[in-house]
Amino acid sequence: MKLKVSQRKQSKKAYKLFRIVHMLAPPYRVFIDDSCLEMCASLQVNDPRECLSSLLSTLGYRGSITLCTHKLVLDKLRNDKKLDALKIGQKLLYVTVKRPHAGQSDAQMKIEDVCTAWVLSNEHAHSDRKNCIVATNSETVVKALQAFPHVPTIHMNHKSKCFVFDEFKKKMGETEKKQPAVQGRKKRAHGVNPLSNMPKRKKLSLQESYGK
């Protein structure tokens, strides 16, 4: 079964994000696919983190890495059309926000409050404070998380279709092994015969060739 173009793009984006987080954080990352939406809707809880923890316990989550390419949209936040995706894991919070349509108010969107609450709950649940990462394309989320300098924030730049690191570029550059430069093939000058440096035979006269 062939995937649609949008599904292929989402798959590539999720794989890139998985590779980035794999380099920056220890394991225990969770991605949930669309098949879990009905289970999310059936859970009547107010806190989205409690919703996901209940969902993971229902699915039998044991700390292994689960990678899916579709979006998790919590039932409590699905009514807001501006919200595109909210992925909450034990180590990673991934938030993308759609561009606002004409005439749509931004007052109803409080996604930065959700991110702040998630960071605080993760802080209280674990002794290690540097155990969660937030990846987002929303500048309001980035500004809200500036109050938590210990939380790594990956700002996704959708204009250039790449991930912009700020603090991690230097660290990753130091950890990566520098590969030796590939030496190119030596080029010879135009018109030079590569066999010209071979020892030349001495020209002999006809008499010398017959030993006379």
> Is 209 within the bounds of a domain?
no
Count Cβ atoms within 10 A of the Cβ of residue 30 and give its class: 0-12 exposed, 13-18 middle, 19 or more buried.
buried
Range of the domain at 100: 5-168
Q: Are 98 and 81 in contact (CB under 8 A)?
A: yes
Strand order in the sheet with 92-97: 83-88, 92-97, 133-136, 153-157, 162-164
Instruction: Give the pair of three-digit tokens for residue 106.
Output: 């931004």
Number of domains in the chain: 1
Size of the chain, expressed as the number of residues it contains: 212
Residue 36: predicted pLDDT: 41
Is residue 75, in this structure, part of any structural domain at all?
Answer: yes
71, 37 Cβ separation under 8 angstroms: no
**pTM for this structure?**
0.32
Q: Is residue 186 in some structural domain?
A: no
Q: 55 — phi, psi (to 5°)?
A: -65, -45
* CA gap 112, 148 in Å, rounded: 13
Determine the pLDDT at residue 110.
58
Q: Please state the separation of Cα 36 from the chain's center in Å.
A: 22
Q: Is residue 177 part of a domain?
A: no
Q: Residue 146 has what pLDDT?
A: 78
Show the beta-strand stretches assigned E in the chain: 83-88, 92-97, 133-136, 153-157, 162-164
Give domain status of residue 210, yes or no: no
Per run of 10 residues, the mean pLDDT along the chain (length 212 residues) is: 50 49 36 40 47 47 30 40 41 51 48 66 55 64 75 55 40 53 60 61 73 60
Q: Are 117 and 130 in contact (CB under 8 A)?
A: no
Residue 133 lies in a domain: yes
